[in-house]
A = this chain, B = another copy of it.
Amino acid sequence: MPGNSFGTLFRVMTFGESHGPALGCLIDGCPAGLLLETEDIAAELRRRRPPGGEGASTGRNEGDEPEILSGVFEGRSLGTPIAIVIRNRDQHSQDYDELREVYRPGHADWTWEAKFGRRDHRGGGRSSGRETVARVAAGAVAKVFLKTSNAVIRSWVSSIAGIDIPGPEKPGFDIEETEKNPFRVPRSDYVKELREKIESLRASGDSAGGIVTVSVTGLPPGLGEPVFDKVSAGLAHAALSLGGCKGVEFGSGFAAAFRTGSQNNDTITARPADAEANLANSTEQKTKFSAFAANNAGGSLGGISTGEEILFRAAFKPVASIGKIQKTVDTSGRARELSVQGRHDICIAPRAAPVLEAMTALVLADLILLHRADRI
């Protein structure tokens, strides 16, 4: 099918160009009976704008206000499609007139035209990062659904502009801090250094890459569809569907390629005898009595969730729009020089974090529903 849909049972289709009338999504398959209000979506949309001022992102106030057009009645989901629309405004489309005839390096301008024979040059059209507004709106609904399963999705920036931010394994990690600083790093003591680094890049008309880590706790074991739709495969698909994402790794990830089996296998541990006394026969209860110690697996084995934390990292390339002069070609194939004007993000990672959460929520909501059909 065409690529603007995602999921099987919790199925989302998104739409919208950066400078068209509106963006939005349609969710087909959200179960009936879910308590849902516009503010659930608005709150996630606000998170697309990093907290605490400018940081690595543009100062543009997108001020997105979602409207629910269907699927909710008297405060609960009906089981029918939930349509959410977010109007565009303050578009300044004429700012993009120069781009009508030139291809920006690192952007989809050229490939989009090679595919469709035409493109909306205004702000990248549908290949713009603004497209993620619709993902976040859909993911917000998935998050509300996931709450009924006790799953919690969190994310943080773990590397930005060449600076690695230590993870939970070192003292001082504070997940709440990610909602307070504009870089979404979980450590306040890194903020000053990052601010200087980013401002220096901005001054030189350059940009930077970064890495986002996503954690999901509270999931039941048994999620994921063998063979092709492993939970890790679905999340990798989701992450790489984001513009600028160039890699993803689960648990020990690329480092696992440099380990031995005895180093990397997660020991399965039994509980002490007194706990064992309570051991009942059902699968559900057994999950409470064993654990995968080191979680090098990142929460799945054979692509099916273990019940441990799902943990993955997604790498984002530097923002392609830079002020520095770049060589490129125009639509007639002739050489051109281009300096991308306007206010652009310096690093996309802080804004990508809530989008990755949204995509993660969509993948997991779908797998939870699919899991209901696993047994007679």
Contact = CB atoms under 8 A, between A and B. Distances in A.
A249 to B, nearest CB: 3
Contacts of A9: 1-2, 9, 370, 373
Ranked 9 nearest A-B pairs via Cβ: A108-B302, A3-B225, A247-B249, A3-B229, A207-B261, A111-B304, A2-B29, A237-B237, A115-B222
B252 A246 contact: yes
Interface in A203-244: 206-211, 220-230, 232-241, 243
B227 A70 contact: no
A27 to B, nearest CB: 9
Interface string A280-315: 000100110110000011101111111100000001
A369 interface: yes
Interface stretch (A39-47, A169-177, A324-332): A324-332
B259 A17 contact: no
Interface stretch (A48-56, A58-66, A185-193, A266-274): A266-274
A283 B117 contact: yes
16 contacts: A4-B226, A21-B68, A22-B70, A69-B85, A73-B120, A77-B376, A79-B118, A106-B265, A110-B221, A111-B302, A111-B306, A116-B375, A236-B237, A261-B320, A276-B334, A290-B333
A343 interface: no
A14 B27 CA distance: 10
Contact of A239 (B2, B236, B371): B236
Contact of A2 (B211, B225, B252): B225
A322 B112 contact: no
Nearest to A230: B241
A201 interface: yes
B15 A26 contact: yes
Contact of A114 (B13, B221, B376): B221
Contacts of A222: 111, 114-116
A196 to B, nearest CB: 15
A206 B315 CA distance: 31
A152 interface: no
B246 A240 contact: no
A5 interface: yes
Given A81-B13, A246-B252, A324-B262, A114 B307 contact: yes
Nearest to A208: B260
A125 interface: yes
